[in-house]
Amino acid sequence: MGNVRAGGHYGGVSGGLQALQPPWRLCLCPTQAARLVELPYPSDDDDDEGLQLGDVHLSVAEQHPEEWHPVPPKPGAFSHCVRYLAFLWNLLFLLLGLLALGVGVWGLLAKGSLQEERLALLGSDPMLLFVLVGLGAGAVSLAGCLGALRSSACLLRFFVGAVLAFVGLEVLGGLLLLAARRRLRDALRAALLLCLLRYQQEPDLRLLVDEVQRALSCCGLRSYRDWESNPYFNCSAPGVQACSVPSSCCLQPLQNGSVANEQCARGVLSLGDMEAAGVVHLGGCVVQLGAWLRGQAGGIASGAAVLVLLEAAGLLMALKVLADITPGGVQG
């Protein structure tokens, strides 16, 4: 009876299982069906785990769409050419910047402008301009060189920003010069007066003044008598240069056409204008320099335009390289 009950019970269970099982399980024997009943069915947690494992096969864009960026295409021959041109362009200006820096440092060391007793006059030293220009051009060009060579987006962005700043300053300076021509004339007169007062102390200023006076056939600021304000050329000064002017003011600065005559203007300030007119140029350099600048306005404008075009060419090449190495271009 127990076996019958067990068999009947087993038959009822197996019949119920056959009714509840999917069609593919109906072909199994009762023992296999009983074992399948004991197998756990997948739960919701298992489904989540399966989805997480399946996510491994998803693309990066489907997993993190906010962090996904398109892969930039491989640069072509034109892009490589632009990169090499950008490197050579920046290398040229790097060498020019280093040359200007070297000239400036050499001038400061040769004159002793870096000594403690002369540091107060360093701000008015023209060689300081070479140092500053050389440092600025060298640093920006070095960033452009390394950025193009190493495909560094950070260095290229710095280069682009620096060039844009330089162009903006140049345009602003040009507009200020046009708007404040009278003040520019006053500043030029003050600079020439400073050169006149420090003629003996600064060799580079002396060279500049002599070249201007020879080229423009002028002497002093407004007239040759402006040299009386120089403590060495003043008539009350002790020494052989008293009541004199530089030899670059002379009508005939060369003796026998080949040898420089440093004493050609000796004692000119003690003469009258009629007598001095036969020895030196009487007119000042401010008027002559203003007339020369007006005559060279076309050349100055052309030079400024060429400089801006060179900067624009370097800027465009840097932007092209930056667009090639970053997925989003300049903003990537």
> Tell me, what CATH number does 281's domain have?
1.10.1450.10
pLDDT at 322 over 50: yes
Residue 92, token pair as written in the block: 């040229």
**Closest to 321 (Cα-Cα) out of 86, 89, 54:** 86
Same-domain status, 179 and 241: no
pLDDT over 90 (residue 50)? no
Across 288-300, average pLDDT = 84
Kindly tell me if the per-residue pLDDT of 230 is higher than 70: yes
User: Do 325 and 269 fall into the same domain?
Assistant: no
Answer yes or no: is 62 within a domain: no
**Kind plus residue range of the DSSP H or E element containing 300:** helix 297-325
The answer to whether residue 138 is domain-embedded is yes
Question: Is residue 42, in this structure, part of any structural domain at all?
Answer: no
Residue 187 and residue 3: Cα distance in Å, rounded?
Answer: 124
Q: What is the pLDDT of residue 64?
A: 52
94 and 226 fall within a common domain: no
User: Tell me, what DSSP letter sits at residue 213?
Assistant: H
| Same domain as 201, residue 106 | no
130 and 208 belong to one structural domain:
no
End-to-end CA distance of the chain: 84
| Chain centre distance of CA 75 | 26
In a domain, 151, yes or no: yes
Whether residue 105 lies inside any domain: the answer is yes
Residue 330 has pLDDT above 60, yes or no: no
Residue 227 lies inside a defined structural domain of this protein? yes
Q: Which residues pair with 254 in a beta bridge?
A: 260
| Residues 277 and 325 grouped into a single domain | no
In whole angstroms, give the CA distance from residue 199 to residue 205: 6
Residues 87 and 171 in one domain: yes
Backbone phi and psi for residue 3, each to the nearest 5 degrees, phi listed first:
-70, -40
Same domain, 98 and 139: yes
**pTM summary value:** 0.60
pLDDT at 37: 47
Shared domain for 157 and 118, answered yes or no, is yes
Instruction: Give the best-scoring range by mean pLDDT among 59-68, 93-102, 229-238, 250-259.
Output: 93-102
Cα separation, 297 vs 130, whole angstroms: 24
Question: Whole domain around residue 202: which residue ranges?
Answer: 197-294
Co-location of 119 and 176 in the same domain:
yes
pLDDT of 14 > 50? The answer is no
- Structural domain includes residue 129: yes
Q: Are residues 327 and 261 in the same domain?
A: no
Evaluate whether residue 11 is within a structural domain. no
Residues 180 and 302 in one domain: yes
Total of domains in the chain: 2
